[in-house]
Amino acid sequence: MRSDLQIREIREKDAADIAAMERDIFPDPWTKRGITETLQGKNTVLLGAWKNGILTGYVILYYVLDEGEIARIAVESSCRRQGAAGCLFGRLKDICGDRGIKRLMLEVRQSNTAAISFYKRYGFTEDGIRKAYYTNPCEDAILMSREI
């Protein structure tokens, strides 16, 4: 892991910062309330990456039994391609191992070639397409998964 990044579980006090990043990054941002409710969920993992005390990225995972779905993974635009997502993913894999999660799944916009490339680099394969899954704009989702 990079020495200038701190990876830790997200706390309720971090919800406003996550919501702000959501608004900056996604056309369908989660609200602070939605993030807080997710934090209170039983089968969730929320991890954040901080650099010099400032949130630079996060990942949100839901899981049931031995399968997990990455609902969100995001890195602040000025911090991309510097290893934060890889550090988050590495820590997430450790937690999945601890909780008996053996398979990870996700959806990604078909046009998000940078994310698709990242996921493939970390062992995800394409499983199919979900037509018109995203709105604003309307776009297909590529379904991806990997074994842990």
Beta-carbon count within 10 A of 72 CB: 19
Q: Listing from the earlier edge strand, what are the strands of the sheet with 125-134?
A: 5-9, 44-51, 54-64, 67-75, 103-109, 139-147, 125-134
Number of H helices and E strands in the chain, helices first, is 4, 7
Active site residue 147: no
Q: Which of 22, 58, 63, 107 is catalytic?
A: 107
Active site residue 76: no
Q: Which of 119, 122, 126, 147 is catalytic?
A: 119
**Do 70 and 32 contact (CB within 8 A), yes or no?**
no
- Element (H or E) spanning 36, and its range? helix 32-39
> What is the chain's alpha carbon radius of gyration, rounded to the nearest angstrom?
15
Q: Which residues are catalytic?
A: 107, 119
